[in-house]
Structure 1
Amino acid sequence: MATFITFNIYLFYGLVFFAIGCVVVFRNFKYSQLAISPTLWALALFGFSHAFHEWSELYVILFGDEIGRQYQFVVDWLRLIKLSLSFAGLLIFAWLLFVIQGKLVGKLGKVATLLIVLCYSVCLLAFAMGGYLGADTFSEAATYTRYLLGFGSATLAGIGIALYGRQLSQENHQYGRYFAATGLGLFVYGILAGLVPTEIHACVPVLRTLAAAFVLVTLIKALKIFDIEKEMATEAKLKRAIEADKYKAIGHLAMGVAHEINNPLASSTLALDLLQRKLPPQQATLQEYIDRTRMGIERASTISKELLAYARNDSANHNQVYLSDVVASAQQLLSHKISRYRIVANCDPLLSMMGQRVKLEEMVINLLNNAMDASDYQGLIELNVGAGDNHIWLEVKDCGHGMDEATMQRATELFYSTKAIGEGTGLGLAICEQIAAAHNGTMSLFSAQGVGTRILINFILEGKHYDSCIDC
C-alpha cells in the first residue's frame, strides 16, 4: 500500500511540473508586447527538467534496492546533477526576470543570483578537492544544492515574477495578480523543496506537489493574458482591413466626385473673371458679390483638390530626399502665416530617406498648419527630426489647447474637424497618415487638454539615412 501511495505522489509531482512546461511551450508569444514573454522559455526548461528529475527519483525510490552497490555511487551523483540542472533552469528564469525589472531592483536581483552561483560553485569545488566522495559527502552536497539552488532560485524567481505582477497591476492589467500569486507559489515551493528535508515527514512530497499545483493553476490564469493579446491583435488587423476597404471605396468615390466638381468650378471661376472685367469701377456692390462668390468657389476647389490628393494612388518612384530641405521648403511656403508663431526646427542637414519630396512637404505643411491653428499668438511650436538604428522620426509639438480622448480617437477620420465651419476640411491628418503609410511609416498622436499636442511619425528604413559616415 505504501509503495502504491508513493508511486502516485511522485507520479503527480512530476506531472505537475511537466504541465508547467507544456503551459508555457504551447503558448504563442510571437506577437506579444509583454516584457516577460522572452523569459518564459527558462520556466518551461525548469518544468520539464524538474519533472524528469522527480520521475527518475521515483524509480530510485521504488527500485533502489535492486541497484548494485558498485553502481550506487554513480547513481547518487547522477541524481545530484539532475537536481542541480533542474534548479539551474529556475535560476536562469530568475536572472531574466531581473533583467526586465527597473534599474535598482534589477541590479540587486542579478547580484543575488550571481552570489548564489558563486557560493554553489565554491561548495562544489570544496567537495571535489576533498578527495573522498562517499555517501556522507553526497548527502552534504545534496543539502547545499537544495539550500542554495532550490530555495535560492525559487525565492529569486518568486520575487521577480511577483514584482512583475505588481507592475502589471499598477498599469491596470487585471492578470497582474495572477503573476504575483505565481511568485508566491514559487516561494512556498522553494521553502518546501529547499529547506524542508523529504525525510522529516511522509507528507512533505504531498505539500510540495500542492505548492507546485498552485503554481500551475496561477500560471495558467496569468498566461491567459497572451491569449487576450492575440485576440486584440487579430481584432485590430480585422478592423484595419475593414477600414482599408472602406477608405478605398471612399477614395474611388471622392476621386470621381472631385473630378466632376473641378470642371464646373474652373468654368465658374473663368466666368467670374470675365464678368469682373466688364463691370464698371463704380459697381462696388456687384464687385463685393463677385468676391464672395469667388471665395466660395475657391473654397470648394480647395476641398476637391484635397480629396484628390487623398484618393489618388500615387505610384511615383521614390528618390533620395534630404529632410532638412523638406522642412525648409514647408516653412517657406507657410511664410505668410508662420511669422505669427515661434517655430523651432531641428533637423540634421545630412539626414535623408527614400521618398517623394512633394508628398513629404505636404505632410509637414499640414502638421505645421494644424499646430498653428491650435496655438495662441506667439505660441511655441517645435519641429524635430532625428534618426535611430533603422528608423527616422519626425515630431511636431505645440503648446495649444490640446485634445480630449474622444477627439483623439477621431482625429484621423475623414472630414472630422473641430474647427469652425468653413475653416477646416477634416482631411489634413488623414492625408498625413496616408503619406506616412506610403513611406513605410506610422503616425501616433499624444495630446491632453490644456497641455498641447504631439504628433510623432516613425519611418522604418531599409538602407542608410545619412549621406556620409559622420556620426551626427
Structure 2
Amino acid sequence: MNELALYTIYLIYGLAFFAIGMTISLRDLKLSRLSIVAALPALALFGYTHALHEWTELYIEWVGPNRDVSWHLQVESMRSVKLLLSYLALGWFAWKMLGLIRWRYLHWMRTITYAVMTTYLALLAISYQAMALEAFLPTANTLTRWIFGLGPAVVSGLALTAYARQQHWRSHRGARYFGYCGLALIAYGVATGIIPTDLGLWVPVLRASCALAVLYCLARALSIFDWEREEQIRQAQWQLVRADHHRAVGTLASGLASEIEQPLQRAMEKCDELEPELDMDSDGPYRLEQIRDELQRSREVCKELVTFSQHAQDDLQALPLDTLLNSALELLSHRLKPFIVLQDLEPGLTILGNEKQLKEVLVNVLSNAIDASEEVKRLEISAVLKEGEVQLEIRDYGPGLSGEGQNNATEPFYTTKQEHMGLGLTLCHQVLQQHGGQLSLENWHHGLAVHLNWPRHQPA
C-alpha cells in the first residue's frame, strides 16, 4: 500500500511540474506588454526539468529493487544532474524577476551568487575527493537542495509577491495570484531544501501539495493575460471609433477652414486699402489695427483646424527621451525662468517617432502645466520603463481638473480657457495614438498629472 501511494505521489508530483511548464508554454504571450513575460520561459523550463527529475525518482522506486549497484549509480548520477539543471532554471527565473522589480541591491545579489556558486563547487570537489561515489551522490543532492533549491525558490517567491504589489492597480484578480504563487514557491523551497526526504511519506506529499499550489496559483495568475488581451481588443475598437470621429471632425474642420480663409484674406486686403484714407489723428488707425489682430487670430485658428485635419506620422527615428524633453524645455526656457523643474528620468529610454510632432506634444503639455502652476511655479517630470512602455509623467501644481474635464480634455474643441480653441490636447492625443502610445490625465494632491506612454524602442 505504501509503495502504491509513493508511486502515485511521485506521478502527481511530476505531473504538477510538467503542467506548470505546459501552462506557460501554451500561452500566446507575443503581444503582451507585461514585463513578467520575459521571465516566464525560465519558470517553464524549471517545470519541465523538475518533472523529469521527479519521474526519475518514480522510475528508481519502481524498478530499482531489481537492479545492481552500477545501475543505481548511473541512474542516481543522471537524477543529480536533472536536479541541478532544474534548480538552475529556477535560479534563472529568480534572477529575471529581480531585474523586473528593479531591486536596488541587485548588484550585491550578483556578488553573492558568484560566492555561492564558488562555495558549492568547492564543497562538491571536496566531497568527491573524500567520499565514494555511492556516498557522494546523496551528499551532492543535499547540497543542491540547500543551495539551489531553497535559495532560488525563496527569492523567486519574494520577487513574485513584490511584482504582485506592483500590479495592484490592475483590476483583474490575476495580479494578486502572482503573490499567492510566490508564497507557494517559498513553501516549496522550504519543503525541498530543508526537510529531508527520508523523514517519511509525508515529505513527498508536502512537496507535491506545494507543487499543486504553485500550479493552481500560476494558472489563475496567468489569466491576467486574457484580461490584457481583452483590454487590447477594446482599446483597438475604441481607437477605431475615435479615429472615425476625428476623421469626420477633421474633414469638416478642413472644409470650414478653407471656406473661411478666403474671406479673411480679402478682409485683410480691404484693411490695407482702407488704411491710407484714415485720419491719423483720430482713433481710426488704432481700431483698424484691432480689426487686423482679430482677423489674424481667425487665420491662426484656421491654420490650427487644417493642422488638426492633416496631422500625419512620417519620418520616424529613434529618439532619446531625455534629449527630446530637454529640447522642449529649451523652447520654453523663457517661461520657465522663475520655475523649479524637478526631473527624474530613468537613463537610456528611447522611443521611435517623428521628432517634430513629439516635440510639439511635449511643448503643448508643458505649456499647459506652466499655465496651471503660475502661483506655485513648480513642475515635476519623471520617466520610467514599465511593462515594455516608456512612461513619462508631467505634474503641475495647479487646480487640477474636474472629472468631466479629465474625461473630455482630449476631445476636439473642449477647453477651459476662453482664448483657446481646445485642439491642443486633442492633437497631442492623436499624435501619441499614431505612435502607438496613449495620453491620460489624473489629479494628484498638488494638481494635475499628465501621463504620456510610448512603446519602448529597442534597436535591432
Give the TM-score band, short-chain normalised.
Answer: 0.7 to 0.9
The residue type paired with residue 428 of structure 1 is G
C-alpha deviation, 1:33, in angstroms? 3.7
Q: Distance in 2 between matches of 1:459 and 1:3?
A: 56
Q: Is the 8 A contact 2:128 2:136 kept in 1?
A: no
C-alpha deviation, 1:215, in angstroms? 1.0
SS at the partner of 1:185? helix
Show the 5 A alignment for 1:9-158: 9-104=9-104, 106=106, 109-110=109-110, 113-130=113-130, 132-134=132-134, 136-158=135-157
Q: Closer, same or farther in 2 for the Cα pair 1:274/1:363, shift >3 Å?
A: farther
Q: Distance in 1 between matches of 2:424 and 2:408?
A: 13
C-alpha deviation, 1:310, in angstroms? 1.7
1:411 matched to 2:406: no
- TM-score of the superposed pair, with normalisation by structure 2: 0.75
The match for 2:211 is: 212
Show the 5 A alignment for 1:461-472: none
Show the 5 A alignment for 1:71-470: 71-104=71-104, 106=106, 109-110=109-110, 113-130=113-130, 132-134=132-134, 136-169=135-168, 174-270=173-269, 297-312=295-310, 342=338, 370=368, 373-374=371-372, 376=374, 401-403=399-401, 406-420=404-418, 423-432=419-428, 448=444, 450-451=446-447
Q: Distance in 2 between matches of 1:263 and 1:118?
A: 81
Q: Closer, same or farther in 2 for the Cα pair 1:51/1:329, shift >3 Å?
A: closer
The residue type paired with residue 426 of structure 1 is G
Once the two structures are superposed, residues 351-385 of structure 1 have per-residue CA deviations (whole angstroms, 9 ceiling, x without a partner) of xx99797x78977875676456545489678999x
Q: Distance in 1 between matches of 2:169 and 2:336?
A: 43
Q: Distance in 2 between matches of 1:207 and 1:153?
A: 19
Q: Closer, same or farther in 2 for the Cα pair 1:237/1:296, shift >3 Å?
A: same
The residue type paired with residue 414 of structure 2 is Y
Q: Which runs of 5+ in 2 are unaligned?
A: 318-322, 342-351, 383-389
The residue type paired with residue 23 of structure 1 is T
The residue type paired with residue 426 of structure 2 is A
Q: Distance in 1 between matches of 2:84 and 2:330?
A: 67
C-alpha deviation, 1:51, in angstroms? 0.8
C-alpha deviation, 1:47, in angstroms? 0.6
Once the two structures are superposed, residues 295-331 of structure 1 have per-residue CA deviations (whole angstroms, 9 ceiling, x without a partner) of 6655544322321122135799899xx999x979977
C-alpha deviation, 1:18, in angstroms? 0.5
Q: Distance in 2 between matches of 1:393 and 1:203?
A: 49
Q: Closer, same or farther in 2 for the Cα pair 1:118/1:409, shift >3 Å?
A: farther
Q: Distance in 2 between matches of 1:323 and 1:367?
A: 13
The residue type paired with residue 162 of structure 2 is L
Once the two structures are superposed, residues 36-74 of structure 1 have per-residue CA deviations (whole angstroms, 9 ceiling, x without a partner) of 331222211111011111112212111113323432221
Q: Closer, same or farther in 2 for the Cα pair 1:169/1:109, shift >3 Å?
A: farther
Query: What is the percentage of aligned positions where both structures have the same residue?
Result: 32
Q: Is the 8 A contact 2:393 2:449 kept in 1?
A: no
Counting matched residue pairs gives: 440
CA RMSD of aligned residues (A): 4.9
Q: Distance in 2 between matches of 1:145 and 1:7?
A: 24
Q: Is the 8 A contact 1:262 1:301 kept in 2?
A: yes
SS at the partner of 1:36? helix
Between structure 1 and structure 2, the one with the greater Rg is 1
Once the two structures are superposed, residues 134-193 of structure 1 have per-residue CA deviations (whole angstroms, 9 ceiling, x without a partner) of 3x3333333333333333332332233233334434888754432222122122222332
Q: Closer, same or farther in 2 for the Cα pair 1:315/1:66, shift >3 Å?
A: closer
C-alpha deviation, 1:100, in angstroms? 3.2
Which region of structure 1 is more displaced relative to structure 2, 394-403 or 221-230?
394-403
Q: Distance in 1 between matches of 2:156 and 2:5?
A: 31
SS at the partner of 2:215? helix
Q: Distance in 2 between matches of 1:109 and 1:143?
A: 23
Q: Which runs of 5+ in 1 are unaligned?
A: 333-337, 346-352, 385-391, 464-472
SS at the partner of 2:208? helix
Q: Closer, same or farther in 2 for the Cα pair 1:277/1:57, shift >3 Å?
A: same
